[in-house]
């Protein structure tokens, strides 16, 4: 009998196990894979907020040895690219998943968690309505494991979510495709003023390109486009198509002068969603319970955040704490979920957003508000007050830029939608805390 049985031993499951084992809980993690393995469908970027959680776990420096910190982020549309600067010791890291997952899994073992790989969960065990364990299959041999709580940390196609019937809400299908591969990092990448060794996300037309430094001398380059365009060409020859897309942009072309280190991978179809994350004897964490558009690279950081919160709820030891974890997760995640949806929309490159980046480039002190968003100090929808947004918008209208009005009003509608959803989630949290 375990205090907690975790299905999935990657970015959510392994940190959860370490948090719990360090608190004296008897924990077992099971995973169908022969870990550690690479995880190709991953942005693998850890924001500064996530690195601080790794530091709490005592694993931050190990990750920094694999992937030195990134202190400069750049993002924008066309020629208007905003530079965000983070202080020494406060940057993010972009380790490849083979190394990151190994560090996390070793951390779980070191803390005292039992790890069982190549174990496939085939059913959950119930007593009445309550989940009390799982049945695992190891090389054809089935074994029942029991625990006070079973946690699904097994990704967006979660077996546990399916077996417990966790309902989806706010779901939608991705309007984009994305292809990527790893390249050697050019020798002058750190000195080049367009990069300064950091990350770059740049929109042009309906497309955007991504450059992230990865392990030591590697980098990941990606190209995203609407899933109605160019898909046949990419399917026919992904490597040549990705290379052509990078060479077509003057900023990214110098990054692909050497041959790629890996084959080109693609994500053609994806669905983003929330799932109910708590029930009698079970919980979900990480992508199993919340899968966002990967454009802003929030997934791993949020997996760490939610693992820490769920560990505290499990240590509290009652069902009400687990349900509060779920509701509080929604309060923290709703603005980020909508923000990721906005960044991944095919019409992100619109007149209003172009105006936004143009003004911040002209008045760079405003970029600190975007740093505050990355650092989770402020919601993306509250970073810039209505006064300054109205000033920028109607100033543009007075100069004859009437095309900003349509996307300006649509952005206002999204903001109102987020506020309404957030208010409902906060009311539910308050009600739970008063019970």
| DSSP per residue, 242-253 | HHHHHHTSTTTG
Sheet strands (E) in 90-140 = 114-117, 120-127, 130-138
Rounded CA gap, 8 and 120, in Å?
A: 10
Give me the pLDDT at residue 224, please. Answer: 95
Within a domain: 89 = no
In a domain, 70, yes or no: no
Look at residues 127, 296, 335 and name the one whose alpha carbon lies nearest to residue 201.
Answer: 296
> Rounded to whole angstroms, how far apart are CA atoms 271 and 133?
28
| 195 and 321, same domain (yes or no) | no
Tell me if 379 is assigned to some domain.
yes
| Pair 360, 211 in one domain | no
**Which of 29, 24, 26 lies closest to 12, judged by CA?**
29
**What confidence score (pLDDT) does residue 372 get?**
93
Is 67 a member of any domain?
no
Provide the residue range defining the domain that includes 198: 176-267
- CA distance readout (Å), 422 to 14, 201, 289, 335, 428: 29, 28, 18, 8, 10
The residues pairing with 82 across neighbouring beta strands, listed in sequence order, are 75
Instruction: Give yes or no: residues 252 and 153 share one domain.
Output: no
User: Hey, what's the torsion of the CAs at 264, 265, 268, 270, to 10 degrees?
Assistant: -150
Q: Which of 321, 341, 361 lies at the terminal end of a domain, its last residue?
A: 341
Listed in sequence order, the residues at least 6 apart from 133 whose beta carbon sits closer than 8 Å to its beta carbon are: 5, 124, 125, 144, 145, 146, 147, 150
Note whether residue 358 is domain-resident: yes
pLDDT value for 43: 67
CATH number of residue 138's parent domain: 3.50.50.60
Q: What pLDDT score was predicted for residue 424?
A: 86
b/e per residue 248-263 (b: at least 16 CB within 10 A): eeebbeebbeeebeee
| Sign of torsion over alpha carbons 291, 292, 294, 296 | negative
**10-residue block means of pLDDT along the chain (435 residues)?**
95 97 97 76 83 96 92 94 88 90 95 94 96 94 96 95 96 94 91 90 94 90 88 91 95 95 90 96 97 92 97 93 94 94 94 95 92 92 90 93 92 89 84 70
Q: Are 28 and 111 in contact (CB under 8 A)?
A: no
CB 155 within 8 A of CB 69: no
- Which residue's structure tokens are 């951390």? 107
The residue among 3, 20, 5, 86 whose CA lies nearest residue 50 is 86
Instruction: Give yes or no: residues 304 and 279 share one domain.
Output: yes
Same domain for 429 and 357? Answer: yes
Considering the domain architecture, whether residues 167 and 180 belong to the same structural domain is answered as no
Report DSSP letters for 45-65, one per residue: -B-HHHHHHHHHTT-HHHHHH
Rounded-to-10 torsion of CA 237, 240, 243, 248:
-100
Residue 115 lies in a domain: yes
Alpha carbon separation from 68 to 61, 214, 244 (Å, rounded): 9, 8, 29
Structural domains of the chain, count: 3
CATH of the domain at 229: 3.30.9.100
Is 85 contained in some domain? no
Q: Is 377 helix (H, G, I), strand (E, B) or coil?
A: coil
Whether 274 and 389 map to the same domain: the answer is no
My answer on whether 382 and 424 are in the same domain is yes
Clarify whether residues 156 and 282 are in a common domain: yes
Contact criterion met (CB below 8 Å) for 15 and 100: no
Statement to judge: residues 166 and 189 lie in one domain: no
pLDDT given at position 134? 97
Sheet strands (E) in 119-217: 120-127, 130-138, 141-152, 168-173, 176-184, 199-204, 207-213
Q: Of 323, 341, 359, which closes a domain?
A: 341
User: Does residue 50 lie in a domain region?
Assistant: no
pLDDT value at position 435?
A: 66
**386 and 367 together in one domain:** yes
| Same domain as 110, residue 25 | yes
Give the pLDDT confidence score for residue 40 in this predicted structure.
Answer: 59
Quick one: which H or E segment has residue 301?
helix 299-316
Last residue of a domain, which of 341, 374, 390?
341
């Amino acid at each position: 009998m375990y205090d907690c049985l975790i299905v999935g031993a990657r970015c959510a499951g392994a940190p959860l196990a370490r948090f719990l084992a360090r608190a004296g809980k008897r924990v077992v993690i099971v995973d169908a894979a022969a870990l550690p393995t690479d995880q190709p469908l991953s942005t693998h970027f850890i924001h500064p907020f996530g690195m601080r959680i790794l530091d709490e776990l005592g694993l931050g420096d190990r990750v920094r040895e694999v992937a030195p910190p990134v202190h400069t982020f750049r993002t924008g549309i066309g020629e208007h690219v905003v530079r965000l600067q983070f202080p020494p010791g406060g940057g993010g890291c972009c380790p490849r998943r083979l190394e990151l997952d190994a560090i996390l899994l070793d951390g779980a073992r070191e803390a005292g968690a039992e790890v069982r790989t190549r174990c496939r969960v085939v059913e959950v065990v119930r007593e009445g309505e309550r989940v009390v364990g799982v049945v695992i299959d190891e090389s054809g041999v089935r074994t029942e494991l029991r625990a006070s709580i079973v946690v699904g940390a097994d990704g967006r196609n979660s077996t546990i979510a399916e077996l417990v019937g966790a309902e989806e809400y706010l779901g939608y299908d991705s309007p984009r495709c994305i292809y990527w591969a790893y390249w050697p990092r050019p020798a002058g990448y750190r000195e080049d003023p367009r990069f300064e060794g950091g990350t770059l996300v740049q929109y042009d037309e309906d497309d955007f390109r991504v450059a992230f430094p990865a392990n030591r001398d590697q980098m990941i380059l990606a190209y995203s486009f609407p899933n109605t365009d160019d898909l046949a060409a990419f399917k026919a020859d992904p490597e040549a198509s990705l290379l052509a897309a990078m060479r077509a942009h003057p900023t990214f072309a110098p990054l692909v002068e050497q041959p790629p280190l890996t084959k080109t991978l693609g994500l053609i179809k994806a669905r983003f969603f929330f799932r109910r994350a708590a029930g009698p004897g079970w919980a979900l964490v990480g992508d199993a319970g919340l899968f966002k558009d990967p454009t802003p690279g929030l997934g791993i950081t949020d997996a760490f955040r939610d693992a820490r919160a769920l560990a505290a709820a499990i240590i509290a030891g009652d069902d009400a704490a687990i349900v509060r974890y779920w509701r509080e997760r929604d309060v923290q995640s709703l603005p980020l979920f909508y923000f990721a949806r906005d960044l991944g929309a095919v019409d992100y490159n619109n007149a209003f957003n172009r105006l936004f980046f143009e003004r911040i480039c002209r008045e760079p002190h405003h970029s600190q508000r975007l740093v505050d968003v990355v650092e989770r100090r402020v919601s993306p929808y509250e970073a810039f007050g209505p006064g300054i947004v109205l000033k920028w918008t109607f100033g543009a209208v007075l100069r004859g830029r009437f095309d900003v009005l349509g996307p300006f009003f649509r952005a206002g509608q999204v903001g109102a939608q987020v506020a309404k959803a957030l208010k409902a989630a906060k009311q539910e949290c308050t009600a739970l805390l008063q019970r």
